[in-house]
């Protein structure tokens, strides 16, 4: 079952936290569907995505 990121309450929590999904069982389409802030296909790419999300790229 998919739990959209928007189910966290949106507004305030989206300012404080970022949601990211990754891995072989997850697709970019799924990440967009649930409202994820970031997506990557593997752990190596995850570092680049996290740096972008926190503004350190």
Give pLDDT tens digits for 15-30.
567 778 887 788 889 8
Structure tokens at 24: 């072989």
Whether 7 contacts 15, CB under 8 Å: no
**For residue 2, what pLDDT is reported?**
56
Q: How many domains does the chain have?
A: 1
Residue 3 pLDDT: 58
Region at 31 (left for phi over 0; alpha for psi -120 to 50; beta for the rest): alpha
User: What phi and psi, each to the nearest 5 degrees, are found at residue 21?
Assistant: -125, 150
Round to whole Å and give the CA distance between 1 and 3. Answer: 7
Domain around 24? 5-53
Confidence class of residue 34 from pLDDT cuts 50, 70 and 90?
confident
pTM of the model: 0.59
What residues pair up with 20 in beta bridges, in sequence order?
A: 38
SS3 2: coil
């Amino acid at each position: 079952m998919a739990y959209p990121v928007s189910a966290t309450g949106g507004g305030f929590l989206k300012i404080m936290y970022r949601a990211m999904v990754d891995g072989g069982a997850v697709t970019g389409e799924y990440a967009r569907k649930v409202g994820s802030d970031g997506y990557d296909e593997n752990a190596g790419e995850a570092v680049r995505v996290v740096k972008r999300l926190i503004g350190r790229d």
